[in-house]
A and B are shown apart, each in its own frame.
Chain A
């Protein structure tokens, strides 16, 4: 591990890569603050830039910086104007906004920054321990296990989609897998399902799909509902100091939530959003008496918990990405797409084939957390000015960036028409409460899943591998349990509602 850290240091502490960390954090903080652009959309826009950079370490450092920068920036808008720029910081606004209303905006921002910093740093330390261990196990995997692992990942994503949405999420996943079969693939000799259209010959572009699924619906929502993300003017930010008692009160909260958040982030399908809500709920239950009463009215613990948890989860979600090559969330799915475009195959071989990429990213996360702390403590009053951009200027530019992102990836104007059509469809899907992240993850994993499935089938001359290999069988069973467990729980919940009062 020492070798790895030194290797990572030597790669990450170069002028170019330090610049990438700072640039990524800055871009992420600014854009994460704006309503309408989440981390997925920003990273999708940045992909052409990352591909142009060419060096996979620098590109991944940049994109990772954007990712946690956006989570950081989202908390600022949650606190100041009660309009979370990112879903992962919604729980932050529960206590952060009341604090800002009480004139303690500066203190709230400080606590958020410290909690995020600690969450991120603890996350990186755990990542350093977890990832090599997991990837040494993963080296034993064959294509059969990979196929089964992807089934587990996809069903976990559906299972965590929320009550009543599991079937919808599964349908979206399958739709993503279906979209992935369009066009040419390395396995076969002719393009499939192109309907004779030349523009579909190489399949759907994943940047276009990411833009259509995440950036465009958000922007259209901002148009449809002017109240959404309305800036009511930011309050004065002053007195950013916290007292020693406050620090003592939040320290255990931050410690617990950093670890819990990380573990939630590692699980496929449960990212920063779930970690922050769960962290908030757990801390509210742990707190006693007056402390518990204060939750929701400006409690510093209620602010520290989701902030530590979401940043730790954000780091945790890199574990399955870097060790198994399986993204656990929409954002890491986009990162995976970017890595594949850069000719790096994330997975257990990553630590052997490209150790510098792996370790440089980890070291850059330490640096990134420090950069974010510096950015967020003294500079936040100035950065928060970005919230004052009027909507009439913001929305045209968001739309323009989504389009230019899709266009320069392919240099093809038809891509823009595909973007608009898919974007409208995605907006309607969101109206009907269909989760969109599973579609993108299914799309990105689809090609890999078919490759591994084909290899396993060809090696064993049939689908016998599914029960002949114990590890494959176990993984497949886990995958199916993950799908059926929520359905079972829902039925039980319904049965309980019919009968007497709930148990707990």
Chain B
């Protein structure tokens, strides 16, 4: 089964789960007499979504003659650097978890230098100063120009 059919299946499941949640939505007592209730639109949407997903799932695969924009080609998937992409995603998750406790400057510098390392940059004497400079500059801009507080230092300093 082609990837887009799998995705249609996933959407069908989502639509069914959403539809279940919507059709069994517990209305408040006074809402029962109203014309438009919280699950009016969701009910409609879930039915339409399930219907569209079914069409996609059951329709025969059309012959596509090359995308105009020359987008990514799933057939070449093996040549892609999946390892690097997964590494970057893992780094992003780690960054999300570390941002608050470790502080903005340290975690950002490590993130920038680390993702550069994953991508194959080995000149750390250039990468780390650039990352530090970038992190410092962005922290200053966000803190001073935008006035949004970002804890700059690790938790044991503040």
A408 and B143 alpha carbons, distance in the complex (Å): 10
Query: At the interface, yes or no: A164 with Cβ under 8 Å from chain B?
Result: yes
A396: min CB distance to chain B, Å: 4
B35 touches A181 (CB 8 A): no
User: What residues of chain B lie closer than 8 Å to A221, measured between beta carbons?
Assistant: 72
Select B116's contact among A162, A392, A461, beta carbons within 8 Å. A392
Interface residues of A in 85-129 (CB under 8 A from B): 87, 90
Beyond A392-B120, A457-B36, 13 additional pairs, beta carbon < 8 A: A52-B145, A174-B45, A181-B41, A188-B31, A192-B39, A193-B21, A193-B22, A193-B42, A400-B108, A416-B93, A420-B92, A428-B3, A432-B7
B92 touches A181 (CB 8 A): no
A226 and B11 alpha carbons, distance in the complex (Å): 31
The proximity string for A residues 222-260 relative to B, scoring 1 for CB distances below 8 Å and 0 otherwise, is 011110100000000000000000000000000000000
A429 touches B35 (CB 8 A): no
B21 touches A171 (CB 8 A): no
22 A-B pairs whose Cβ atoms sit less than 8 Å apart in the complex = A49-B145, A49-B146, A171-B8, A174-B48, A175-B11, A175-B14, A178-B14, A188-B38, A192-B38, A192-B39, A193-B21, A220-B85, A224-B85, A392-B116, A396-B112, A397-B112, A397-B134, A413-B99, A416-B93, A417-B96, A432-B4, A433-B67
A90 touches B69 (CB 8 A): yes
B111 touches A450 (CB 8 A): no
B6's closest neighbor in chain A, by CB?
A432
The proximity string for B residues 129-158 relative to A, scoring 1 for CB distances below 8 Å and 0 otherwise, is 011001000100010011111100000000
A34: min CB distance to chain B, Å: 15
User: What residues of chain B lie closer than 8 Å to A400, measured between beta carbons?
Assistant: 108, 111-112, 134, 138
User: What residues of chain B lie closer than 8 Å to A429, measured between beta carbons?
Assistant: 7
Query: At the interface, yes or no: A16 with Cβ under 8 Å from chain B?
Result: no
B96's closest neighbor in chain A, by CB?
A416
Q: A393-B121, A416-B92 are in contact. Are A431 and B3 (CB under 8 A)?
A: yes
B28's closest neighbor in chain A, by CB?
A189
The proximity string for A residues 373-402 relative to B, scoring 1 for CB distances below 8 Å and 0 otherwise, is 000000000000000001111011101100
User: What residues of chain B lie closer than 8 Å to A189, measured between beta carbons?
Assistant: 28, 31
Closest 10 CB pairs of A and B: A416-B96, A392-B121, A432-B4, A224-B80, A396-B115, A171-B52, A188-B38, A432-B3, A454-B36, A457-B36
B158: min CB distance to chain A, Å: 16
A196: min CB distance to chain B, Å: 11
User: What residues of chain B lie closer than 8 Å to A349, measured between beta carbons?
Assistant: none
Q: A420-B93, A453-B36 are in contact. Are A192 and B25 (CB under 8 A)?
A: yes
Interface residues of B in 48-98 (CB under 8 A from A): 48-49, 52-53, 55-56, 59, 62, 64, 67-72, 74, 76, 79-82, 84-85, 88-89, 92-93, 95-97
Q: A52-B146, A399-B92 are in contact. Are A413 and B41 (CB under 8 A)?
A: no
A48's closest neighbor in chain B, by CB?
B146
Counting chain A CB atoms within 10 Å of each CB, the highest count among B84, B119, B145 belongs to: B119
User: What residues of chain B lie closer than 8 Å to A408, measured between beta carbons?
Assistant: 142, 146, 148, 150
**Secondary structure dominating the interface of A:** helix
User: What residues of chain A lie closer than 8 Å to B52, measured between beta carbons?
Assistant: 167, 170-171, 174
User: What residues of chain B lie closer than 8 Å to A366, measured between beta carbons?
Assistant: none
- Range of interface residues on A (Cβ < 8 Å): 35 or more
Counting chain B CB atoms within 10 Å of each CB, the highest count among A168, A228, A414 belongs to: A168
User: What residues of chain B lie closer than 8 Å to A277, measured between beta carbons?
Assistant: 68
Q: A164-B64, A177-B45 are in contact. Are A416 and B99 (CB under 8 A)?
A: yes
A397 and B119 alpha carbons, distance in the complex (Å): 12
A392 and B131 alpha carbons, distance in the complex (Å): 12
User: What residues of chain B lie closer than 8 Å to A391, measured between beta carbons?
Assistant: 119
Query: At the interface, yes or no: A462 with Cβ under 8 Å from chain B?
Result: yes
User: What residues of chain A lie closer than 8 Å to B146, measured between beta carbons?
Assistant: 48-49, 52, 408
A190 touches B45 (CB 8 A): no
A231: min CB distance to chain B, Å: 15
The proximity string for A residues 167-200 relative to B, scoring 1 for CB distances below 8 Å and 0 otherwise, is 1101100110110010000011110110000000
A392 and B122 alpha carbons, distance in the complex (Å): 10
A397 and B88 alpha carbons, distance in the complex (Å): 12
A184: min CB distance to chain B, Å: 11
- Range of interface residues on B (Cβ < 8 Å): 35 or more
Q: A52-B147, A181-B45, A432-B7 are in contact. Are A396 and B119 (CB under 8 A)?
A: yes
Query: At the interface, yes or no: A434 with Cβ under 8 Å from chain B?
Result: yes
Select B71's contact among A188, A419, A430, A454, beta carbons within 8 Å. A430
A23: min CB distance to chain B, Å: 12
B104: min CB distance to chain A, Å: 9
A74: min CB distance to chain B, Å: 13
A430 and B72 alpha carbons, distance in the complex (Å): 8
A168 touches B42 (CB 8 A): no
Query: At the interface, yes or no: B106 with Cβ under 8 Å from chain A?
Result: no
A49 and B146 alpha carbons, distance in the complex (Å): 7
Query: At the interface, yes or no: B127 with Cβ under 8 Å from chain A?
Result: yes
B89's closest neighbor in chain A, by CB?
A420
A48 touches B67 (CB 8 A): no
A419 and B96 alpha carbons, distance in the complex (Å): 10
User: What residues of chain A lie closer than 8 Å to B42, measured between beta carbons?
Assistant: 178, 181, 192-193
B95 touches A450 (CB 8 A): no
A224 touches B119 (CB 8 A): no
B111 touches A164 (CB 8 A): no
A207: min CB distance to chain B, Å: 13
Query: At the interface, yes or no: A424 with Cβ under 8 Å from chain B?
Result: yes
B118: min CB distance to chain A, Å: 9
Query: At the interface, yes or no: A407 with Cβ under 8 Å from chain B?
Result: yes
Query: At the interface, yes or no: A411 with Cβ under 8 Å from chain B?
Result: yes
A224 and B70 alpha carbons, distance in the complex (Å): 15
A367 and B26 alpha carbons, distance in the complex (Å): 55
A357 and B15 alpha carbons, distance in the complex (Å): 40
